[in-house]
Structure 1
Amino acid sequence: MLKELLLQFIVSLLPVFAFQLWSHKEHGWKGMPVFMGIFCGASMLLCMLSTSSVLGYDVDFRLIPYLIGSLYGGVPTLVVLTIIYVAVRIPMLDSSWETVSFIMLLVVFIPLVLLSVRPFSRASALYKERKGLLLMSVFMLYFVISMVGFIGYSDVSWSFIMVVSLIVAVLATLTATWLSIFMIESVKEKQLLYDEVKRVSANYHNEAVKLQQFIDETSFGVIVVDHEGRITHFNEMAKKLFFLHSEYTSAMQILGSSFPEVFQIGQEDACVKLLIQALDGEKVSLVPFVNGETMLLLTTISLRTSLNDKNAGAALIAQDVTEIHHLQNEVGRMERLSLVGQMAASITHEIRNPMAVIRGFVQLIQERSEKNQGEYFQIIIDELDRANMIISDFLSLAQNRVLKMEPTSLHAVIHELIPLLMADANLRGQTIEVNLDKHVPLIMLNDREIKQLLLNIARNGMEAMGDNGTLRINTVSFGEKIELRISDQGVGISQDQMKHLFEPFFSTKTQGTGLGLPLCLSIAERHNGRIDVESEEGEGTTFVVTFFLVKEQAEVPDFAI
């Protein structure tokens, strides 16, 4: 009989062994009810088919797979196993005592298991072991009572072998129950640990990929080395900024190389020294490095492990600050020029007063002098007026005064200036053509400054043309902007001159001051506009003054055509 009990013990553990193999297939836990139903049902059938008989009373381990399958498979598995158990057990009932015991088992044990399924699934591993042993202990108590009652009912005396067999059967059943739960929970715990390791590994890989993407896409040059000084990460910008040796051209050559070997002479001292300091644990350092016209800002970072704060390597970061350095110099230069401009504006303003006095006395002397000397005095007066005009243009350009602007028709300003421009054109033998868009809206203007802009550009065009030339003035509306186009048929402007056209004191005319166009640009910018120039040598020039409108201005029509 002991041999049969050993066989029963092994067969009852069949679902556990199968579960260990199944768990390595990485199915997860979605198929647990089906798996437990199949293997626990098979194990239960094998136990019932290989049962041992004690004086006609069946003794086997069939309830071990039944209990394990029900607890781990849930209510559906419990129902299936119960149907299988009842269907197979009923034909095997040989006596009225077994029938009564079977009915009592269905009434007591199965509802007890049903009530334990849901708490069992949410419990800890230790609680599951205790719960399983408790349920099986209840059944073993019932089994012992039934066995004792059956022996008494059969009027058979107890033997030593029967007592030993009964004790072995009870201990083996409890041991198999505990061992089944323990092994299943151990496998589940290992699987959970394995899943956690996979998740952490995936997160680590994702973080490493994001770090490499950041290093690759950043505008800084980055080189990362490990605690042994070997390069583990770098980006293409590092190859451009650090001037590595020519033989280090590919990632395979750079990665794993010792960092002192990769730098060219010139950067070697600074970069290598900084990385050595970082590997020694020194704090972040910012060091400017100049190589020809390129200026770099070098930064080193000492990398430490999070667990024991040991040295894990270092990072060298290079930022190209050449443009920033140039901009800082340019800002400083512009500030100095602004200060000089303010001083010059103050000085020129003060010069106008003595010049006015000089002009007055020259006129007085002219009246008292001989007539044959009048042309000399007129030359003095003309030059004084010319100097005063230069001062006025300079002050208009230098002063940043607040303008008073009103909704005004651009066409009204043009119409006011047309007679004056026509008179100048007639004296030169030229003509003027005006073509104005009927849909140009009202815009915020300072009419005095717009007149000055229009006169300067129109007269420049007239001076650039010979006799019989034509000056064209057009306006075009594009919804959110208005273009004022002034075209001449002059000699045009070369590309070299175009680059300096709006620089103060640059002029293509022998008698020009070089302040007219800069003043026009300043006026356009104060009116939320810009000036573009289209020119070809020998074919003429077109100045395009663009005014950008806000939404409210674009919706107001211009009826003053």
Structure 2
Amino acid sequence: MLSLWKDILLQVLLYGTLIFHLPLLLDRHVNCLYKKKPDVVLRFRDHIVIACGISIILCVLLSAMSDYYVPIHLGVVPLYLGILYGSRFSGLCLAVVYITTHGLIYGLPLACLLLNMLIICYSMLPRVSTHFKKGSILEKICWLWSALVPSMLLIVGHEAVDGKVNNHHLNPDMILVAVLYMLIGMFHSGLIVYWIEMNAERLASNRHNSPLMSKESVSPFLDLIPLGIIAVDLKGNIIAANHHLITDLSKAAYPHLSRSDIVGKPLHEALDGMFQKEHLLTRIEKALQGIETPGEIVRNASRVYSTGIYPLIHNQTGKISGAVGIIEDITELDKLRSEFINVERLSLVGQMAAGITHEIRNPMAVVRGFLQLMQEKSPDTLDHYYRIVMEELDRANSIINDFLSLAQNRTAEKEECHLHDIIHELSPLLWADANLRGQSIELKLGSMMPKLLLNPKEMKQLILNLCRNGMEAMGEKGTLTIETRLEGEQVKLFVKDTGIGIPDDVLQRLFEPFFTTKNKGTGLGLALCMSVVQRHNGTIDVKSSEGQGTVFIISLPVRSSPQTMIEPQSAAAFE
């Protein structure tokens, strides 16, 4: 009996040691090969199958027959472990190894062979293997036992099936040997499943932390992202920063900054003078405490940024391991949003104009008519008052006209004409206005200008509004310059004055409806100009410096079809 238990203990130690250590040794060897030949990598489950195959042979060779004709060997444990962890092909190979080895040493009766094959086939069913691989540790142990227990019962009972035990009485020692044999197999198999799962989890964790996931390999991917990304550890030291953050977001403060200059340094030192330091430091401190601050808008000089600061959570432990900041330059998007708001305001103005025009104009016409009748019957001493009232009525009518112009969202009727012709038609009117103010007008018309598709009436209104704004901004002896140029596929019209210039805060709101700096202004003149330019598929820009004057630049597209060119009339100056 003592010899029997020694054999059992020896089997447990041998196959347990093999299954415990051989996969790890192979994995270490494969890691060395992996650096040179990535195509020779074996999966961890294949290592288990190899260890199980060797264990089956050793267990059968070291098995012993008890005094009660019970063959004691634990080769069935590595058999089912290999079948359930491996593929169908590897499971079939292990089954052949087990049956062949057992048959060569002990010989197998036909009935026992058939029963063994049935149990092995059961364990190789796709449903069993799939549930085993996807289950938890406890579920895997249960699936293993569902195949292992019937097979072990068959081992201890196959002698009875063969008729050899009939000559012996079933005594407690025989039952004890059989029960202990099964308990050892079940306990040890459960322990091995637990060990395999723990090591598989550890290897998966090591794979995530392998050189493939190192900072050096992740950096190229981060550099492809068109956002500024910076990551810090729990101590506030920078552990990663992508190319966009280093080059685009910090070029104003440090034009020659490189990644090595900031990675590994404390965040408060690296950000000094580069960005809104206090803003980021405060948010990152919150992120290290688990508080997210997504989607905040930050203005830095003339640029606008959207920032989001988030805690980094470790996948395995669930604890905070650092923080990451994402910074996006949304300056252009902010400008587009402002322009969209302007368009919405213009649309609102147009809707208002369409609704109130007739309701206001008709009563005003009646009032003006009766005022003229009253003026004829009143003494001359009241003419001054009548004139003031009618001027204000005319001013109100002018505002209504501007409303109507802004309300014209339909496509303007255009015709092929020369911009110079429109300018020359307006020249006498502009000269008269400038002469009354003691100012001069200078024309600088470009050569070989093409015809454009224009609405002459709207273009006259545009040029007249810009020129009169320029004259009002200048004092006596000021000069208004009207210049045209052909630049690529665009004709550009410049209206430049020598006035006092426009402050930056006013410049940003220049085209807003109802915004004006004049005492009697309506705030619709420049909004009307923008509306005209947009209907001609053009753009309008303003450049101004306080004390140095202002220039409005109108860009109009040239048609792609052949154009008729016109030579300019000699540049003229009106004084």
What's the TM-score, normalizing by structure 2?
Answer: 0.49
Asked which structure has the greater CA Rg, the reply is 1
TM-score (norm 1): 0.50
